[in-house]
Structure 1
Amino acid sequence: MRAVVQRVKRAKVTVGEEITGQIQQGLLVLLGVSDTDTEDDASALADKIVGLRIFNDPDDKMNLSLADVGGQMLVVSQFTLLGDCRKGRRPSFIKAARPEIADSLYRIFVAQVQGQGIVTATGRFQTHMDVELVNDGPVTLLVDSQKEF
């Protein structure tokens, strides 16, 4: 699994005119699922992201986790994170998981985050979404379950 993690002051996702997910301070996670990912990847990545110490402490050092600050998480499925742009000008998505597998692992990731007591909102899987955010910092990280944590 591959994730773009953004520390945000607020974020929301809409489908058409409907807000499907909205958070205040926390993390916006754009999540891509590869064809080799497993339930273990989903659980490990959720644990890693929830535990990232990327929020400022009273000394203004990034030393606190999402749980430490009472933050929320908005998780948006994004298969394009698995796009391979090395050849030609059109990305190849051959490494992205099939939709039914990706949806299942996406749901496992979300459930794992919620199981840690994090208020979690989501987009709508396999739908065109508009994502709005106010990036805090900015702080943006790439986290990949296929690379050692």
Structure 2
Amino acid sequence: MLVRPRGSLACLAIDWAIDQLCYEHATTSGPGAQAHGRLENLRHAVGAVLERRAGDESRFVGVRALGIDEHVWRHGDGRTKGPKEPTGMVDLSREAGRVHARLLDLVPGRSKNAYADWLYGRGDGFRANIAVAALDPFGGYKAAINDRLADATAVLDAFH
């Protein structure tokens, strides 16, 4: 595990790169190019921080509105790459009139089970807190909401 002293130049660079990916919609190669071609060093450092953040369950606290949709990857040979359709869960909760719109998680596949298993893994407290679940018209997502979020109001997301 990478250990960085707080406030160090490395810490600031890693935080900047993650902000570029999370909030500025940068590609993974964008921050590396801006770091004068030191992409591999940056990727290694950022990867370690992102792995640690992925294990931090506090990102699920306070989620009241949950969005779900898949993303279809069309890069490379599908026979040799991983899943082409990861399912993404997004916090759509409002605070002071603004939607959080932050990615909570990605899981491989596009199915009822992919979503239902993810919801089950968050625990009873998380599921009880969800008041609204936005989804695309895929029946598997609706079935998972019916199974795991029975008290939430299911709505069609704004993009469909």
The TM-score range, normalised by the shorter chain, is under 0.3
Structure whose residues are more often helix by fraction = 2
Larger strand proportion of the pair: 1
Taking structure 2 as the reference length, the TM-score comes to 0.26
Higher-Rg structure is: 2
Structure showing greater relative contact order (alpha-carbon pairs closer than 8 Å, 6 or more residues apart): 1
TM-score of the pair, normalised by structure 1: 0.28
